[in-house]
Structure 1
Amino acid sequence: MDRLKALAPEEELAAIEKLFAEKVFDLDGPVVHFPIRHHSPACAHHLLRTFDDYKPDIVLIEGPESGNPLIPVLADPATRAPVSLYYGYEDANGRGACYFPLLDYSPEYAAIRAAAARGIPARFIDLDYRGRPEAAEGGKSSAQDEALLAGSAFIGRLCRLSRARSFDELWERAFEIGGIGRPTREFVRGVFAYCTLSRMTYSPETLRSEGDLEREERMGAHIAQARARYGRVLVVTGGFHTYGLVTQDEPGGQTGRGPAEDQAAPGATSAAGGGPGGRRSAAEPEDSLPKDSPPTRYDRERGIVRKQMYPMVYTFEEADRLNGYASGMPYVGYYDRVWSLLARGDSQPYERAGLDLLAGLGRRLRSEGESVSTSDGIEAYGLMQGLAALRGKSQSGAYELTDGVTSSFIKGERTLAADRPLEKLLAMMTGDRIGEVAPNEWAVPIVEDFKARAAACRLNLRSTGRHRRTLEPYAKPAHREASRLLHCAEFLGTEFASKESGPDWVTGRDMNRIRETWAYSYSSRTEARLIENSIYGGTVEEAAEARIAEELDRLPAHHSGEAARWLLRALVMGLEALAGRLFDRLESALRQDGSFLSLCETLDSLDRIRSHRRLLGVSDESRLKILTDEAYEAAVSRLPGLNGLNPDEQPHAVEGLKLLHMHAAGRSGPAAAAAGSDPDENFRDRLGELLAAPNLPPRLEGAAAAILVRLGARESGELSLRARAYIQGSPDQALKAAEYLQGLFALARDSLMQGNELLADLSGLLERLPHDEFLRLLPELRLAFTFFTPPETSRIAAKVAELHGLPAARLEDAAVDETVLRAARNLDEAIRKEFALWKLEAE
């Protein structure tokens, strides 16, 4: 309090002291307010003392009011922190979500457990909908945001006066380490004074725009209702709100509407009983149902059209504020150690937690080959104690620990590589624990289904951090099931897994690979995304099927290429039940599709399915073959209309021609020749029509001519003649030669190797082109030669050298000798210096 006197007027502090004594912490009064900081072990410690001293009849907690039926789940011994309440809602702006995380040492969670142990009711009294702009816009945020408290002008001045680097360091010094041993009344008075002075730096307009005044009106109405029914009411809220609650009008004069007017779903059971001894009185209002509960009048006034709330697992990593959540203190793993030691009666919990982490850090670094000695650890520990004494602390805390490791373990300049000890320490201080929620009636079926399937596939859901799994879906049925689950999870946007390597079924890339490597990590985000998908189905498969059906409903009926890709995705995810309906949809789309490119995409996808039909679980092979043949015939019939394609579509058309050529070659095999049939005759005829079309783009001309030569419908010399027509034509025609070669080389790159005519013509073109036109041609020409392999490129270079009378060995010589380059550079520098002496400018 001495520091506060230097920053606040004496009369202001006297008013805060009077308010504290009369309305905040009067243990003989009907209401006791206990101001807290979220996730503070010291606050939780003194709160449990207050339970013993005050012996309340009911506990009111800052938390989402629709979560009251979930309090017994949170209080269940089978529930292991960290856990969270997930509140999802939908309004006119879209979907949004809030999280209410709870750790073992969160004061709110300590209050829930203490109430359950004493058989008294506990209630949440805060709004579900936080009223903040980012939440209204569909953002996802923590319901324990302390940005206003930590960022106030008062806290900024206090940090400068105290020489603290941040509010977190100031708080640890003043209240965590400095507050554990204080009398509870003195501790609570300090928290209330700090938080009140922070609040006073904000205008009412700011507080209302942030939603704080609205929330306090709602909490005040709950407090008034509880005060009318219980003799001793303990109120646990963030310290920032305590001043607003105790300065409201008397309970009979509340301007806000009471909670009883807004309750929905009659017949819902109470969260933890009601009335003295935990029994509900006849006049007591029912609680809102958490799962898919209808919006109350209060919700409707705020535009909420749908809402739901569930208990879910959480992780230390997500609860750590340094990882992006402005919800309480950082270093959650470190403070969890402190809380455990405090619960065991350790007199120096912070000192002990720091020493344990320091010893563990040394062992971990040495096991990973880092050069860290025992003397480094001793030096760091001594530095921790010295810094604590210098900073006026009775024990070293989190910031002394990080400073000690930085000074003693990091040798020399701090770099990414040298920072490894500190990086490891911060990871240990965060922790990797993931919570567990007790079995309950509000368990979300899709979450339970996902967990059961993941357990069957031996995926690690028990600890945080990125795990890796390499699968062999071709060889092992169990791996195939795991692959299907991971593909479903990725498609549903669960943020659980991402594929690092392996075949890409939809795009056709890396199809030669037989293994898949996945990175995955289970967290509350995964559960939240699964809960969001619960509107589509009760299992992962049902949700994926419904999502695909929804995507198909948006798809035009004639887009067969997209329909085929969705069929392929469904099969990769193991959705065989959906595949039958998708075959029907694809068959209908094929008969309406008039796009050559779309039909080729369909054919490509069907080819991939046929090649891997055993792996994908396709049982109706005859129908698959019929659809493939139909897609081929439909694409061939669209060939004469390709001369109207846009330039951007032409490379895809060339790939489509290549695909059709492969099919035509497969259809005219030995069996067809023996039967005297010619199944590719229609393909040849349509290609001939395309080649005869006026204004045919050069790239398509090259591809079509190459296919006809390969099918024996044209002489091989025609390819060079057509190229010569471009090369020796007008300047505009010459510049189109590279496009013709791109189409030609895509299907018949051997045409360049069969004779010297084409190479000679191309060499002559490059020799006579003006420099500017050569630069215009060069990118397209380079693209044409990307179809050749490196050995083929070397053979082409040798033939070019032969055309110019040069030995092939000369091609391996460096363009310019290195000594010549160095001499030229030195000469250039000397000339520039000479110019500078004469004050001349070098061009």
Structure 2
Amino acid sequence: MGNVLQREEMDQIKDQDRFIKSFVEEEVYNLSKQVVYFPVRHHSPACAFHLKKTIEEYQPEIILIEGPDHSNHIIPILTDERTKPPVSIYYAYASGEQKYVCYFPFLLYSPEYVALVEAKRRQIPAAFIDLSYGSRLESLEDGHDLKKKNEKLSYHDERMLAGSEFIQRLCQTMKCRNFDELWEKVFEIDGIRKQTKDFVKDVFAYCYLSRKCYDDATLEAEGDLIREAHMRQKIAEAKKKHARILVVTGGFHTYGLIEERKTSYKIQKVQEEKIYPMVYTYQEADQLNGYASGMPYVHYYESVWKALEKKEPAPFSNSALTYLPQLLKKLRGKGETTSTADAIEAYSLMNGLAVMREKAEGGAYELLDSVLSAFTKGERSIATSQPIETLRELLTGDGIGEVAPNSLDVPIVRDCKDRCKSLKLAITTTARNQKVLELYAKKSHREASQFFHCMQFLGTEFCTKEAGPDWMNNRNVNLVRETWRYSYSSFVEARLIESSVYGGTVKEAAAHKLADMVKELPQHQSYELAKWLLMAVVMGLEELSQRLFESVVESVRQDGHFLSLCKTLKTLTILLEQKRLFGLSETERLENLVEEVYYQAVTKIVEQGNPNPNELDELADQLKFLYMLSEKRQADDSREIFSDQLRELLRNDKLPAKLEGVVVAILCNLEVIDRAEISKRARAYMFGSPEQMLHTAAYLHGVFIVARDYLFHQEEILRDLHQMITSLAYDDFLQVVPELRLAFTYFSPMEISMLSEKVAALFQTTVEQVTNPVIDERTLRDARMLDQAIKEEFAKWNLI
């Protein structure tokens, strides 16, 4: 180690091994002293293995553990027999407008969890002694920067240990790809075969030499020194009451707990920090998924731990034997062609690699390398990545923990789990499940839809709708099924805890959150209110829906904007048309409101003669909507008012061409004016002034929005259009063509085929000649290549 470490501080130590050995024997792991320090790497099976041996031999009166001291009341819940790791303690802390979240996970083989369980079994106290998360941030001048370093912050952050210069150079010397492979080789595989005192000495040595790569300023900025000062104080308090104290902390801090320092720190106490026990998942605890401490391949090391508990002589080899058959089964289920011979070869390769790498057994990295070689024959590509990726999934696991029922259980979390159980939604794993809901056929499916919409609205990321009606944007509202993907995780639980400020159930939280959002809306924007009314109905929030309905009524009477009223009318119409789906039995008030909004909107049509150009397309669509709605109405007076408003609008000389086309087409369909008026006005554009000619496409676009069937009954417009196009100048043609293409996008493929026949007849040719490209693609490609070759040849002779 001395040859590897090139630090000035270490150069002053003549005999590093002697110093570390004597320090461990006298100060760290001296079972005759009042305090015994046990350094660990978080979530290490080997550390947990030797920790149990230490507890058995030392017989402590109390176990002190690195963990936030204000969460000691969680310990009985964590050690309850009904609690099944992985679980976590959730911390949420707010400072001003900033919110910070931290997780303290426990796996079945985490040394901290094993210490808690052993303390309970022996009926001795166990306590956390570290700073709380909020106090840790508030006590540091740059404490809030800690949050920026890792979005999913773990209380045990091992970046300092794994990223030290000592560890990096040691990995190079020992030919290990990373710190995790180095740790597995030295401590997990070889460590379980060492005497406990030798194991502790090695763990301390690695952590101590890594720590010496950093100066005090860095350690202080990271919050290590203030945390260690707090833990030293807690240890001193325990020494006044207990004769044998076992201290279990991350190895990076062990030297700092023993080292005498005169520096004092002012610790800021935080009262507003939320603390809850919560479930956790294998995937979230895996280091490769962004978790800041512990080892990867969580499920794999759990299987190793279980083998150690059974005192199996070869726990790593036995674990590999369980994963290879699972890998075969999983790959075959995915349609991959694999053989048992591949698995046998992989197991043989794993053992061979272990011998070559001087390991007692093949670990996770030998298993991965052997599968890569045996299953993919060493070829790593997208086409051959399935075996190795599937193995990684198996090694990580997809399970989720369980927290024993307790008084700290957040009501909204319990309600969510109860709702999932009643709706038969699978949340026992982190797998992405699919649920297809028959909205009209089954009441339970409508209830599931309401639940999914509530969870989505709360931002829990529990579910995603893949298909079905989009009520908020008025798309696909004719569909009768919804397809959802969902999965439960600790992230979902954390978001639910954050939403608990709105209510104790999922529905209550969604209702209060929506009510707060509605308060911020201007009263005169009826559409926004109507949209959220629809959303409240979709989520099944009956009481809030009634209040929002009253707000919409008031807002409509203050809303003077035509487009807002039309969109409000469209939203209310959806509610009325889907009354059976939404369970609306009393609809008289809704029908009256629809009637009122309709008249409000229709009477403002005449005011749209000089619209904002950016609103032109939306105005055309809303006029079409009002026309379609008027066709469904029985009262003659309502249709008369609608047609009168349109005729008055048509008299406006400044009416844009697109709106003119829409209005003329509607009036023709209502039989208020003759259909020949469409052709008459089209000719006025086609053969008018040059400026009018350029608006022809916009006019036809408006006509086709409402009455595209006109082309099939009035063929003269095709001849007029042909005559106009042939008379256009080249620059004018380039300006008109894009708008003409846009106008014809309203026609279906069958209608385009019918138009092709009419155009072919006009030119006395066949449909094939009309629809085929003038130059085929191959000719174009050859011409392009020839053109490029000529350019290159000209360039050689400086001709271009």
Do the structures match in fold with TM over 0.5?
Answer: yes
CA distance in 2, matches of 1:814, 1:637: 49
Name the SS of the counterpart of 1:679 in structure 2.
helix
Which aligned pairs between 1:446-595 and structure 2 lie closer than 5 A?
446-595=412-561
Q: Would you say the 8 A contact 1:411–1:418 is kept in 2?
A: no
CA-to-aligned-CA distance 1:467-517 (integer Å, 9 cap, x gap): 111110210111111111111111111111101111111112122221111
**1:683-736 Cα distance to aligned partner (Å, 9 max, x none):** 122222322234222222221222122222222222222223333333333222
Pair 1:195 & 2:241 matched:
no
Q: Which amino acid aligns with 2:14?
A: E
Q: Which residue is equivalent to 2:317?
A: 351
Q: In structure 2, do the counterparts of structure 1 residues 462 and 803 end up closer, same or farther at CA, with 3 Å as the change threshold?
A: same
Q: Residues 732 and 234 of structure 1: is their aligned pair in 2 closer, same or farther, counting only changes over 3 Å?
A: farther
The letter for the 2-side match of 1:722 is R
1:298 paired to 2:269: yes
Kindly tell me: are residues 726 and 208 of structure 1, through their superposed partners in 2, closer, same or farther at Cα, counting changes over 3 Å?
farther
Matching residue's letter, 1:425: L
Alignment of 1:11 with 2:14, yes or no, is yes
Residue pair 1:366, 1:372 contacting (<8 A) in 2 also: yes
Once the 2 structures are TM-superposed, how far is the Cα of residue 4 of structure 1 from its aligned partner? Answer: 6.2
Say whether the 8 Å CA contact 2:65–2:128 is kept in structure 1: yes
Does structure 1 conserve the Cα–Cα contact (< 8 Å) formed by 2:298 and 2:396? yes
Q: Residue 563 of structure 1: CA displacement?
A: 0.8
Matches within 5 A, 1:169-188: 169-188=181-200
Aligned twin of 1:52? 56
**Cα separation, 2, equivalents of 1:404 and 1:597:** 66
Alignment-derived partner of residue 140 in structure 2:
none
Q: CA deviation at 1:814?
A: 4.4
* Same amino acid, percent of matched pairs: 49
Alignment pair present for 1:752 and 2:764: no
Partner Cα separation in structure 2 for residue 842 and residue 23 of structure 1: 87
Shift of 1:225: 2.0
- Find the residue that maps to 1:114 and give its secondary structure: helix
* Distance 1:817-1:309 versus aligned 2 partners, 3 A rule: closer
* Partner residue in 2 for 1:216: 228
* Equivalent residue letter for 1:811: V
Greater alpha carbon shift after TM alignment, 380-389 vs 713-722:
713-722
Cα distance change, pair 210–835 in 1 and its aligned pair in 2 (3 A) = same
Q: For residues 819 and 372 of structure 1, do their structure 2 counterparts lie closer, same or farther at Cα, with a shift above 3 Å needed?
A: closer
Offset from partner CA, 1:781-804 (integer Å, 9 cap, x none): 222111111111122233233333
Alignment partner of 1:244 out of 249, 256, 275:
256
Q: CA deviation at 1:119?
A: 1.2
**Where in structure 2 are the equivalents of 1:21-420 lying within 5 Å?**
21-129=25-133, 130-131=136-137, 132-133=143-144, 136=147, 139-249=151-261, 255-256=264-265, 298-299=269-270, 306-411=272-377, 413-420=379-386
3-state SS of 2:270 partner: helix
| Structure 1 counterpart of 2:681, one-letter code | R
Match of 2:723 in 1: 764
Is the Cα–Cα contact under 8 Å of residues 708 and 747 in structure 2 kept in the other structure? yes
- d(CA) in 2 for partners of 1:205, 1:513: 63
Q: Secondary structure at the match of 1:535?
A: coil
Contact 1:220 1:248 in 2 (8 A): no
Equivalent-residue separation in structure 2 for 1:598 and 1:5 (angstroms): 71
Structure 1 residue 326: Cα displacement? 1.9
- Please give the alpha-carbon distance, in whole angstroms, between the structure 2 residues aligned to 1:21 and 1:11: 19
| Structure 1, 703-712 or 95-104: larger mean CA deviation | 703-712
The whole-number CA distance in structure 2 between the counterparts of 1:386 and 1:708 is 86
CA distance in 2, matches of 1:205, 1:727: 80
Answer whether contact 1:93 1:136 (CA < 8 A) is retained: no
For 1:510 and 1:841, locate their aligned partners in 2 and report how far apart those are by CA, in whole Å.
Answer: 61
Cα pair 1:738 1:780 within 8 Å, conserved: yes
Per the TM alignment, residue 815 of structure 1 is displaced from its structure 2 partner at its CA by: 2.4
Deviations 1:401-450 (A, max 9, x none): 00000000014632222111111111110111111001110011111111
Letter in structure 2 aligned against 1:11 = K
Cα deviation, 1:253-278, whole Å, max 9, x if unaligned, reads 672468xxxxxxxxxxxxxxxxxxxx
| Alignment correspondent of 1:265 | none
1:446 touches 1:530 (CA, 8 Å); kept in 2?
A: yes
Other structure's SS at 1:89 match: strand
Equivalent pair of 1:96/1:139 in contact (CA under 8 Å): no
Contact 1:221 1:256 (8 Å CA) reproduced: no
Quick one: distance in 2 between partners of 1:5 and 1:750?
Answer: 84
Q: Quick one: structure 1 residues 747 and 195, their matched pair in 2 at CA, closer, same or farther if it must change by over 3 Å?
A: same
Kept in 1, the 8 Å contact 2:659–2:702? The answer is yes
- Give the direction of change, closer, same or farther, for the CA distance of 1:58–1:694 in structure 2 (3 Å limit): farther
1:750-777 superposed Cα distances (whole Å, 9 cap, x missing partner): 2222213322232223223233332232
The residue number in structure 2 matching 1:272 is: none
2:759 equivalent in structure 1 = 800
Contact 2:147 2:153 (C-alpha < 8 Å) held by counterparts: no
- Residue aligning to 1:681: 640
Between 315-324 and 808-817, the greater mean CA deviation after superposition: 808-817
DSSP-derived class of the 2:519 partner: helix
Alpha carbons 1:142, 1:326 under 8 Å: kept: yes
Paired residues of 2:756 and 2:771 also in contact (CA < 8 A): no
For residue 67 of structure 2, give the secondary structure of its aligned residue in structure 1. Answer: strand
User: Aligned equivalents of 2:408 and 2:672: distance in 1?
Assistant: 70
Aligned CA distance change for structure 1 residues 81 and 818 (closer, same or farther; 3 Å): closer
Alignment partner, residue 797 of structure 2? 840
The 10-residue stretch of structure 1 (644-653 or 317-326) with the greater mean CA deviation from structure 2: 644-653
The Cα of 1:195 is off from its aligned counterpart by 1.0
CA contact (8 A) 2:685 2:695 kept: yes
Alpha carbons of structure 1 residues 220 and 771: separation in structure 2 relative to 1, 3 Å: farther
Specify the alignment match of 1:268 in structure 2: none
CA distance in 1, matches of 2:464, 2:499: 18
C-alpha contact (below 8 Å) 2:88/2:103 kept by paired residues: yes
For 2:799 and 2:305, the matched residues in 1 are separated by 73
Question: What is the CA-CA distance between 1:827 and the residue it aligns to?
Answer: 4.9
Is the Cα–Cα contact under 8 Å of residues 20 and 201 in structure 2 kept in the other structure?
Answer: no
Task: Decide which of 629, 649, 674 is 1:663's aligned counterpart.
Answer: 629
Describe the SS at the equivalent of 1:77.
Answer: coil
Uncovered stretches (5+) of structure 2, i.e. residues with no partner: 138-142
CA distance in 2, matches of 1:123, 1:105: 18
Q: Secondary structure at the match of 2:64?
A: strand
Measured at CA, do residues 5 and 698 of structure 1 come closer, stay the same or move farther in structure 2, by a change above 3 Å? closer
SS of corresponding position for 2:192: coil
Quickly say closer, same or farther: Cα 1:587–1:830, change in 2 above 3 A.
closer
Give the superposition deviation at 1:622. Answer: 0.1
Native 8 Å contact 2:4 2:166 kept in 1: no
Matches of 1:744 and 1:5, distance apart in 2 = 81
The 1:718/1:531 distance shift into structure 2, 3 A limit, reads same
1:790 maps to 749
Of 632, 641, 658 in structure 2, the residue corresponding to residue 699 of structure 1 is 658
With over 3 angstroms needed to count, the CA separation of the structure-2 counterparts of 1:205 and 1:257, relative to structure 1, is closer
Partner of 2:685: 726
Selected match of 2:403 from 437, 440, 448:
437
* One of 737, 740, 748 as aligned partner of 1:778: 737
**Kindly tell me: are residues 832 and 655 of structure 1, through their superposed partners in 2, closer, same or farther at Cα, counting changes over 3 Å?**
closer
TM-score (normalizing by structure 2): 0.94
Contact persistence 1:84–1:311 (CA under 8 A) = yes
Q: Deviations over 1:371-418 (max 9, x none)?
A: 222221221111111111111110100000000000000146322221
Separation in structure 2 between the aligned mates of residue 521 and residue 528 of structure 1, nearest angstrom: 14
Distance between the aligned counterparts of 2:146 and 2:533, measured in 1? 37
Query: Corresponding residue for 1:286?
Result: none
SS at match of 2:129: strand
Alpha-carbon distance in 2 for matches of 1:730, 1:216: 86
TM-score, normalising length: structure 1: 0.90
CA RMSD, 1 decimal: 2.2
